[in-house]
Amino acid sequence: MELSEDDLALINVLQTAPRLSWADAAEVLGAHATTLAARWERLRASGVSWVTAHLIGDPHQMCLAFVAVDCEMNRREDVTARLAEMPEIVTVEEAASNRDLMLTVITPSLDDFSLKVIARLKEIDGLVKYQTALCTRLHASGGSWRLNVLSRAQQAAVRALAGAETAGTAQTAALGPLPESHLALLPFLARDGRATAADIARGLGRHPATVQRQLNRVLASGILSFRCEVAQKFSAFPVTCQWFVNVPAGRHEAAAAELKTMRNVRLSASTTGPTNFVIIMWLQSLADVMTIELALQQKVPGIELVESVVMLSTVKRVGWMLNPDSRASGAVVVPAQGLDAAG
């Protein structure tokens, strides 16, 4: 399946504004709203693109960890499946390195990470070793990655329309934590970030008007991060590479700013461990690995590239189980709590 320019443009619009109405998207793309709705349904149904939402939380009150796992060769499939079942492990990738699997883990606290994740890792037969790097500052995440096929004028138009929509919703914001009745909406938004109040009302058996009020408050609360994903093999950037690097103390913010000028970056974060900085990028080919490494050395003074890890496949990304061809399978493991972090 090849994605047309029209497909890519629609995905790019939804990357910037995941819940933008079809009428507003039509204004930007010069197409009829019903045409865009049908195009999106085709992309979504085929698993090529999807919109999801997850709790963003306060980065200063969350625990984000990158965990490298080694397992017995003949138990690798079983270990991978067990890890993917855990909601706290939001992303699972198979690596072409001395690490078998790379995990992105999100928990409400370090204690939860120890009790809910590490304790369970020790119980998985075939998992022989793990190494953890804890995130101390998240600089950029996969939700900010763009295809960049829209013109500057189109990008500005989408941002303006999204801003107007957000401002209208924000007027309904209420103080205080969301009650359980509102939190019940979150699994529906994780499975479909564009779900309407009517969609959710049918699933919950509630009145649509009630769910609309609850949805408005959830959206206005700012606790959710929405993102439009695309199957990597259809994105023109089929290769994932993760670098473990050292950046001089005091240069992390400057390094992060430089990395934001590079369109390939999916994630950048300061971490604990043998290295102090992680970078994840999507690349067009393996040859780009060396090109990027030269660019990193030019852009970030004093950077030390310690290890590069190319991913063979992504089994799970931000809660969504993926097929071997990188399309969404339709199965979603909804986390109890999340953060806009996974690459």
Q: Percent of the chain, pLDDT > 70?
A: 92
Q: Is residue 11 within 8 Å of 43, Cβ to Cβ? A: yes
Q: CA 252, 254, 256, 260: dihedral to nearest 10 degrees? A: -170
Q: Is residue 315 within 8 Å of 240, Cβ to Cβ? A: no
Nearest to 189 by CA among 10, 83, 332, 326: 332
Q: How confident is the model at residue 177 (pLDDT cuts 50, 70, 90)?
A: confident
Q: How buried is 165 (Cβ within 10 angstroms: 0-12 exposed, 13-18 middle, 19+ buried)?
A: middle
Instruction: Give SS3 for 102.
Output: strand
Concatenate the DSSP letters of all residues of 176-236 into one string.
SPPPHHHHTTHHHHHH-TT--HHHHHHHHT--HHHHHHHHHHHHHHT-EEEEEEE-GGGTT
Amino acid at residue number 83: L
Amino acid at residue number 163: G
Phi/psi of residue 267, each to 5°?
A: -155, 140
Amino acid at residue number 240: T
- For 186, other C-beta atoms within 10 Å of its C-beta total 22
pLDDT at 342: 61
By residue count, the chain amounts to 343
Q: Is residue 321 within 8 Å of 315, Cβ to Cβ? A: yes
- For 300, other C-beta atoms within 10 Å of its C-beta total 23
Q: What is the pLDDT of residues 271-321, one digit of tens each?
A: 999 999 999 999 999 999 999 999 999 999 999 999 999 999 999 999 999
Question: How wide is the angle at C-alpha 342 spanned by C-alphas 216 and 150, nearest 5°?
Answer: 70
Question: How wide is the angle at C-alpha 127 spanned by C-alphas 308 and 69, nearest 5°?
Answer: 15
pLDDT at 31: 97
Q: How confident is the model at residue 163 (pLDDT cuts 50, 70, 90)?
A: confident
Dihedral (CA of 15, 106, 220, 185) sign? positive
pLDDT at 26: 98
Q: What is the pLDDT of residues 192-243, one digit of tens each?
A: 999 999 999 999 999 999 999 999 999 998 888 899 999 999 999 999 999 9
